[in-house]
Amino acid sequence: MTSSDELFAPVSADVELCYQTFGSCEDEPLLLVMGLGAPMTWWDLELCEMLARQGFYVVRFDNRDAGRSSRGQGRVTRRMLVRAFTGLPVRAPYSLDDMARDAFGLLDHLGLESAHVAGVSMGGMIAQSMALQEPGRVRSLASIMSTTGRRTVGWQHPVLFRNLLSSSPGRDGYIRSSVATWRMIGSPGYPKTQDDIEQRAAETYDRGVSLAGLTRQMAAIVSTTDRTPRLRGLQVPTVVVHGLADKMVHVSGGRATASAVPGADLLLVDGMGHDLPPQLFETFVQAITANTRRALPRA
């Protein structure tokens, strides 16, 4: 399967995104958007290749403040995050809408007028924001283990908030913290081995991690407004995929998303937590592919 080297796209005056493509540029474009603090490599190579074999031109990328993409500016404190989480106003360095505009900038760089879009967790929120901003540029939407921004759904298990912001220094410390986190949020029905978790954490650290960047992304999430009223008017083919064992984003977030978007399909997966287990790759590919077939043909 043909894949490009990692490349860089200037998407605004101060943001440059690192990206990679799979398959032929003549095929239907599929943009993959990753979640909080995660690099594009969390869209597993095998999964990207499986999607490309379905006839998609697959594009994965590092969001700003993740992986090898640009680091943002502005300091976010824990106090600010708590205020935003409780609904009090805060000034976040950037918003999910800004991150959606980054993604559109990447499409512009690639010469793509529109694309199918699939997003995981925060990436699902960004994908929703893309569809709401410019629905004509989103051919179909796959919102995976994500939520609407409504405070009463998609809540996080209380123990996780503190854990996300506590990382031991250095590479070894990051790996230990990652193992602890994934033990809590990973899929109990499809558990990863200790070696697999440590290897993924090491690759992520070597690619580039930033606690300051993580908090800026968290501020974008918790300061967002509820997208539910706007999602009710969305006319984009949508599939919602959520794990029934998700502790990071409760399954109520997926249910609320599917309920809000007219005609959305909802796939709930037993034993799935807040990750993309290889045992479920075929399930994800089938769900995304079936949903793209509901989109109107493009000239």
CA distance 17 to 7: 8
Over residues 89-95, the mean pLDDT reads: 91
Over residues 275-284, the mean pLDDT reads: 98
pLDDT above 80 (res 26): yes
Helices vs strands, H then E, count in the chain: 11, 8
pLDDT above 90 (res 22): yes
Residue 21 amino acid letter: T
Q: Mind listing the pLDDT tens digit for each residue in 131-190?
A: 999 999 999 999 999 999 999 999 887 667 666 666 667 999 999 989 988 999 999 999
> What pLDDT does 4 receive?
83
Nearest-5° Cα angle at 255, 266 to 284:
40
> Which parts of the chain fold into alpha helices (H)?
45-53, 78-85, 96-109, 122-133, 158-164, 170-185, 194-207, 211-222, 228-231, 251-260, 281-292
Pairing between strand 16-22 and 28-33?
Answer: unpaired
> What pLDDT does 80 receive?
87
For the chain, domain boundaries: 7-292
> What pLDDT does 255 receive?
98
Nearest-5° Cα angle at 137, 136 to 140:
90
Pairing between strand 7-10 and 138-144?
Answer: unpaired
On average, the pLDDT of the chain sits at 94
Q: Which residues of 168-195 are buried (b: 16+ CB within 10 A; e: fewer)?
A: eeeeeebbebbbebbeebbbebbbbeee
User: If pLDDT is split at 50, 70 and 90, which confidence band does 57 have?
Assistant: very high
Question: Is residue 127 a contact partner of residue 142, using CB atoms and an 8 Å limit?
Answer: yes
> What pLDDT does 194 receive?
92
Distance of CA 66 to the CA centre of its chain: 12
Topology (CATH level 3) of domain 7-292 = Rossmann fold (3.40.50)
> What pLDDT does 169 receive?
76
Question: Is residue 259 a contact partner of residue 147, using CB atoms and an 8 Å limit?
Answer: no
Starting at the edge strand found earlier in the chain, the sheet holding 16-22 runs 7-10, 16-22, 56-61, 28-33, 115-120, 138-144, 238-243, 265-269
pLDDT above 60 (res 299): no
Task: Give residues with Cβ within 8 angstroms of 58, minimum separation 6.
Answer: 21, 22, 23, 30, 32, 48, 51, 52
pLDDT above 70 (res 55): yes
> What pLDDT does 221 receive?
94
> What pLDDT does 78 receive?
83
pTM beyond 0.85: the answer is: yes
Read off the DSSP letter of residue 17: E
CA distance 121 to 294: 23
